[in-house]
Amino acid sequence: MNKKMLYILIIIVVSMFFFHQLLSPTNITMKYFPIDQQATFEETKTALTLSQNGIDQPLLIWESTSQIAEPSFLRHDASLLFQNGQLKGIQSKWIQEATDIRQTASVETHDNQYFQSISYHYSEIHSNTDQINSNHQLSSDHIYVIDDPFAKAYAFKNPESDQEQHWASTLNHTTAQQLDFHWTSLIDHFNIDRSKYYEISLLDWTAYQYEPLPQLTLELTKRVTAQLWEGLYKHYIIPFKVAQKIEESFVPLILLDKNGEYLFVLFQDVNGDMQQLVQQIH
């Protein structure tokens, strides 16, 4: 092989390497670009159901789906699953030049558990004018799973009977206690004055899809949401996906400055370390 051919081969190999790195799942981002109001989602859904199918141990079926009308340059969905407030699983999938994304996973259930899931559905749109825009939507679901060793396991979303009311109240209380203890530890660790912030659980962020955050407009709220998930994907989701392990981590807490100037995102990372992200709003 002459030097010219060797040089060309090296260029091809290096180019393929960087192309692979560019498109690898750990480098695909959910970057904020100006919102395209026309690129709406036709469907976004997160669904938690209990399946037994005659097996000994019931399974929680965890699904995340989204659909847009026209293919976009990049479709990317990420879904987080929490059990009694603690991170239980992560699903993340991206596709280029596509409309639909569907993700499904199953999780073994033990004892009595309160499962909650939130999904971020993202679309990156490239126009013929070299303008890049994006759009996003959130979806969520929850389910109470009651797995009594002396009776058949069952599940419900909204309690109806007295027994279901009892279990929902018990599991809500247990989850709230765990989260309050964890969030207080984070706030104390970073020496934050709680009185200066609105405290918002990540799982409650879906309330701000059609209603503005305190002190903000709805348009600004949409940008803040996109930038929030851009940071979460980079600093929270990717490290867990790369490590392929989940230690003791709980629902991230967002502290929104009461003047609407910035926010903090507090969470425990894959190594168990306390982390604080700062997101400027203005």
* 8 A C-beta contact, residue 123 and residue 88: no
Pair 34, 152 in one domain: yes
Here the CATH number for the domain that contains residue 83 is 2.60.40
Total number of domains constituting the chain: 2
What's residue 195's pLDDT?
97
Residue type, 259: N
39 within some domain: yes
Backbone angles phi, psi at 42, to 5 degrees: -80, -30
Q: What is the pLDDT of residues 132-150, one digit of tens each?
A: 999 999 999 999 999 877 7
Distance separating alpha carbons of residues 110 and 215, to the nearest angstrom: 42
Pair 150, 184 in one domain: no
What's residue 232's pLDDT?
96
Pair 193, 143 in one domain: no
Pair 150, 265 in one domain: no
Pick the more confident residue, 23 or 172.
Answer: 172
Distance separating alpha carbons of residues 121 and 79, to the nearest angstrom: 9
What's residue 6's pLDDT?
41
Q: What is the pLDDT of residues 15-65, one digit of tens each?
A: 333 333 333 444 467 899 999 888 889 999 999 999 876 566 789 999 999
188 within some domain: yes
Pair 223, 254 in one domain: yes
Mean pLDDT for the chain? 88
83 within some domain: yes
Q: Tokens for 277?
A: 């992200």
Pair 77, 111 in one domain: yes
From 12, 119, 105, 116, select the one nearest 75 (Cα to Cα).
Answer: 119
Q: Is the pLDDT of residue 185 over 60?
A: yes
Pair 264, 189 in one domain: yes
16 within some domain: no
Ranges 5-19, 47-61, 91-105, 254-268: which has the least confidence: 5-19
- The domain in which residue 276 lies consists of 178-280
Backbone angles phi, psi at 135, to 5 degrees: -150, 160
18 within some domain: no
Pair 253, 193 in one domain: yes
